[in-house]
């Protein structure tokens, strides 16, 4: 079991989530008698959840910075209706419509960011207000009607990679993307190893790297196979490409750039960040604004998929996105979380939803189960933190060994984690 941990690095929580996702997929695959991992179902699952995953990317940054955004569903709906009407009435081409939609998102984001960052009103309140305001805007502008969008606009939400090149029996572009993905993973892993070695840092054994690459590469290739062999006319969805690009972009920003560092710093300890020269107001403003832009994009992808914008688009999205982020390992008090974790969290919810649907479980039971899963995932983590244990995987390891081995935390100095489990006295001492 130690080997497993090595394989996925020290971040046990993230590994736990990936592990849970894989287990869930296998479980449903067995229970549904093989209906889960069919090309059509996978494409459907991906397409039907892409907008939530797009929101989760923005939401994790908001939550890392220590805020929350309840307005994303309403913002998405408001942008969707404005774009639909302007394209219809002003005959805008689709690409102009998309840019226009993103611009509206930016304006809404600037509005909310202004109140949060510069006036200092808690984001919970600002975006609760935004939730009401922009829902109203949607219904006022659309007169509570459903407005259809043109065929070419629908491409971003319902389109697929086209068939090109020689007839192989597979969708060629999908295959190409899959192969590029595998190559990129191999290249990055090798580069990482080389650089770590050059620095004299610990490098895991070669077999660890090889096994890791085989597992990840295999998963990518299998997914590629599924996407490339769907019904004629379907392949890897365009919404999936948009999502993929966003994951790469935001994953990069959050983990490698100065901006990303500053977001984590502000969420981890705003005072310390400010006294290190971070302009926390600017960071908060940008994070809120970015969320609204991604909401606008998610709204347009959804409108494109459902071919029309309606008065009740986006209801409850904020909760799905927030749930994805927390299942994906973010902390309520900020400073912790990853883009990729949130995507995994979102996929856990999506697979759960889809699997229960395939099993014929009603919407009522599905909602109950989803709620319990969210609670259990976070409760488990909080519990483990209190006990100083290393999370789900730690328990598995312990179970396998049959004894309580050494753990990561514990000992004299239990790490100070400023979240729900922080002692009140520590907070009081801060105020004093």
Partner 1 sequence: MAPNEAVILEMRSITKEFPGVKALSDVNLKVKAGEIHAICGENGAGKSTLMKVLSGVYPFGTYFGDIVYQNEIQQFRDIRASEHAGIVIIHQELALIPELSIMENIFLGNEPVRRGVIDWKEARKRSLELLARVGLREDPDTPIKEIGVGKQQLVEIAKALSKSVKLLILDEPTAALNEHDSQHLLDLILGLKGRGITSIIISHKLNEIEQIADSITIIRDGKSIETLDVKGDGVDEDRIIKGMVGRTLESRFPDHTPTIGEVLFEVKNWTVQHPNVPDRLVCKGSSFFVRKGEIVGFAGLMGAGRTELARSLFGRSYGKFVSGRTFMHGKEVHMHTVGQAIDAGLGYVTEDRKTLGLNLLDDIKTTTVSAALKKVTRGLVVDRNREYQVAEEYRKSLRTKSPSVDEGVAKLSGGNQQKVVLAKWMFTEPELLILDEPTRGIDVGAKYEIYGIIQRLATQGKGVIVISSELPELLGLSDRIYTIFEGAITGVLAKEEATQENLMKLMTQARKSAA
Q: Name the residues that contact partner 1, by CB under 8 A.
A: 195, 198-199, 201-202, 256-259, 261, 264-265, 268-269, 271-279, 335-336, 388, 404-407, 410-413, 415-418, 423-426, 428-432
Q: How far is CA 63 from the centre of its chain?
A: 12
Nearer to partner 1, 131 or 331 (CB): 331
Q: Least distance from C-beta 370 to partner 1, angstroms? A: 29
Alpha-carbon span 55 to 75, nearest angstrom? 11
Residue with tokens 């029996």: 169
Q: Which two tokens stand for residue 118?
A: 């510069």
For 209, residues 6+ apart whose C-beta sits below 8 A from its C-beta are: 189, 193
Please report how close the Cβ of residue 255 comes to partner 1 at its closest, in angstroms. 9
Count other Cβ atoms within 10 Å, centred on residue 424.
Answer: 7
Q: What is the phi/psi pair of residue 309, to 5°?
A: -105, 130
Integer Rg of the chain from CA: 22
The tokens 């590029």 sit on which residue? 180
Q: Buried b vs exposed e over 340-351: b needs ≥16 C-beta within 10 Å? A: bbbbbbbbbbbb
In the complex, the smallest distance separating the C-beta of residue 413 from partner 1, rounded to whole angstroms, is 6
Phi/psi at 141 (nearest 5 deg)? -65, -40
Beta bridge pairs of residue 309: 147
Nearer to partner 1, 276 or 315 (CB): 276
To the nearest whole angstrom, how small is the minimum distance from the Cβ of residue 265 to partner 1?
A: 6
Query: Cα separation of 69 and 124, whole Å?
Result: 7
**Contact assessment for residue 131 and residue 73, using Cβ atoms and an 8 Å cutoff:** yes
DSSP states of 72-92 as a string? HHHHHHHHHHHHHHHHHHS--
Q: How far is the CB of 342 from partner 1 (least distance, A)?
A: 17
Q: Would you say 24 or 253 has its CB closer to partner 1?
A: 253
CB of 111 to partner 1, least distance (A): 25
Pairwise CA distance, residues 324 & 315, whole Å = 16
Measured from the CB atom, the residue of 163 and 274 that comes closer to partner 1 is 274
Q: Which is nearer to partner 1, 316 or 399 (CB)?
A: 399
384, 391 in Cβ contact below 8 A? Answer: yes
Shortest distance, position 52 Cβ to partner 1, whole Å: 27
Name the token pair of 376: 């259990």
Nearest distance in Å: CB 371, partner 1: 28
- In terms of CB distance, is 139 or 269 closer to partner 1? 269
Least Cβ distance, residue 364 to partner 1 (angstroms): 39
> Which is closer to partner 1, CB of 34 or CB of 411?
411
- The answer to whether 124 and 64 are in contact (CB under 8 A) is no
Q: Toward partner 1, which CB reaches closer, 364 or 416?
A: 416
257/315 with CB nearer partner 1: 257
CA distances (Å), origin 31, targets 23, 316, 361 = 12, 29, 12
Shortest Å distance, C-beta 432 to partner 1: 5
Nearer to partner 1, 6 or 261 (CB): 261
- Both tokens of residue 169? 């029996």
Report how far residue 1's alpha carbon sits from residue 398's, in angstroms, rounded to the nearest whole number.
Answer: 9
């Amino acid at each position: 079991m130690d080997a497993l941990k090595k394989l996925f690095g020290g971040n046990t929580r993230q590994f736990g989530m990936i592990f849970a996702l894989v287990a869930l997929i296998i479980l449903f695959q067995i229970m549904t008698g093989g209906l889960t991992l069919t090309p059509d179902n996978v494409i459907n699952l991906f397409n039907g959840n892409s907008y939530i995953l797009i929101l989760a990317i923005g939401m994790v940054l908001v939550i890392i910075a220590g805020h929350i955004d309840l307005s994303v569903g309403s913002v998405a709906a408001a942008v969707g209706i404005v774009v639909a009407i302007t394209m219809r009435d002003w005959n805008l081409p689709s690409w102009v419509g998309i840019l226009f939609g993103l611009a509206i998102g930016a304006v809404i984001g600037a509005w909310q960011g202004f109140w949060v960052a510069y006036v200092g009103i808690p984001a919970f309140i600002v975006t609760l207000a935004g939730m009401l305001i922009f829902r109203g805007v949607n219904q006022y502008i659309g007169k509570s009607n459903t407005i259809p969008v043109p065929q070419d606009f629908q491409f971003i939400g319902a389109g697929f990679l086209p068939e090109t090149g020689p007839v192989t029996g597979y969708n060629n572009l999908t295959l190409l993307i899959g192969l590029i993905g595998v190559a990129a993973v191999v290249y990055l892993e090798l580069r990482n190893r080389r650089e770590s070695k050059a620095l004299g840092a610990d490098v895991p054994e070669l077999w660890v790297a090889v096994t890791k690459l085989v597992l990840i590469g295999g998963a990518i290739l299998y997914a590629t196979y599924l996407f490339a062999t769907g019904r004629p006319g379907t392949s890897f969805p365009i919404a999936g490409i948009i999502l993929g690009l966003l994951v790469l972009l935001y994953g990069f920003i959050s983990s490698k750039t100065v901006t990303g560092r500053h977001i984590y710093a502000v969420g981890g300890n705003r005072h310390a960040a400010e006294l290190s020269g971070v302009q926390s107001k600017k960071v908060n403003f940008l994070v809120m604004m970015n969320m609204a832009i991604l909401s606008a994009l998610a709204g347009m992808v959804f409108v494109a998929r459902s071919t029309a914008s309606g008065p009740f688009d986006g209801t409850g999205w904020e909760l799905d996105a927030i749930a994805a982020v927390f299942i994906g390992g973010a902390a309520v008090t900020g400073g912790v979380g990853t883009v990729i974790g949130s995507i995994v969290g979102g996929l856990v919810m999506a697979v759960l939803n889809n699997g229960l649907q395939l099993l014929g479980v009603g919407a009522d039971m599905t909602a109950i189960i989803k709620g319990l899963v969210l609670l259990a995932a976070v409760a488990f983590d909080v519990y483990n933190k209190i006990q100083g244990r290393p999370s789900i995987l730690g328990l598995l390891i312990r179970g396998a060994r049959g004894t309580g081995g050494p753990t990561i935390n514990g000992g004299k100095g239990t790490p100070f984690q400023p979240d729900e489990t922080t002692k009140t006295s520590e907070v009081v001492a801060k105020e004093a």
